[in-house]
Amino acid sequence: MLMFIGASPGSTGGGIKTTSFALLLLMIWNRLKGQEQVNVYDRTIPGEVLTRTIAIIFASAFSVTLITSILLLLGGAGDLPPGESRHFFVEYLFETVSAFGNVGLSMGITPTLSTGQKLAIILTMFAGRIGPLTLAFSWYSPKKGLTYAEESVMVG
């Protein structure tokens, strides 16, 4: 859990930021109290920031789940009996969350990963460092036309 939460804003750590996690907890707390807005230290957090926070946490959890699934699909445990291969899930999940948070911890299975699995871990490290939403927005380019300066014309 601590690897997934990551570092504070402005640092070089990956994962979701501590402020995002704190806003999520504040949002849950205020909803349980029946308040629509999130108020903290006599300030109200804008709804746009809360929406972005939820999107960041959801995208992060989805990407960790997706990469763990890819590691499981590309893994070489197909010929092992279920009793011996079920521990791969915990190892792959640990590797994925560690890569997403740019922590550097490993359960020692990284050298045994296939090339596809290593590429998935590399992409997870990159996405965890810059953030999954930033990565998604970098691929999205809205088509905008030119807008010229307006000029009023006297008519009549």
Residue 54 covered by a domain: yes
What pLDDT is attached to residue 131?
A: 74
| Cα–Cα distance, 117 to 74 (Å, whole number) | 7
Residue with tokens 């990956």: 14
Residue 153 lies in a domain: no
Q: Is residue 89 part of a domain?
A: yes
- Report which of 136, 99, 138 is spatially closest to residue 117, judged by C-alpha positions: 99
The DSSP output letter for 149 is: P
- At residue 13, the pLDDT reads 77
Whether 148 maps to a domain, the answer reads: no
Task: Say yes or no to pLDDT of 150 above 60.
Answer: yes
Backbone dihedral angles phi then psi of residue 56, each to the nearest 5 degrees: -65, -45
Q: Which domain range does residue 112 map to?
A: 2-139
The token pair at 108 is 């020692």
Contact status, residue 48 vs residue 37, Cβ threshold 8 Å: no
CB-neighbour burial class of residue 2 (10 A; exposed 0-12, middle 13-18, buried 19+): exposed
pLDDT in tens, 94-140: 999 999 888 888 888 888 888 888 999 999 988 888 877 677 677 77
Pairing state between β 43-45 and 38-40:
antiparallel
Q: How many CB atoms lie within 10 A of CB 71?
A: 25
In a domain, 147, yes or no: no
Q: What is the pLDDT of residues 120-130, one digit of tens each?
A: 999 998 888 88
Domain membership of residue 145 (yes or no) is: no
110 vs 121: CA distance, rounded Å: 9
Q: In which element (H, E) is residue 45 found?
A: strand 43-45
Q: How many domains does the chain have?
A: 1
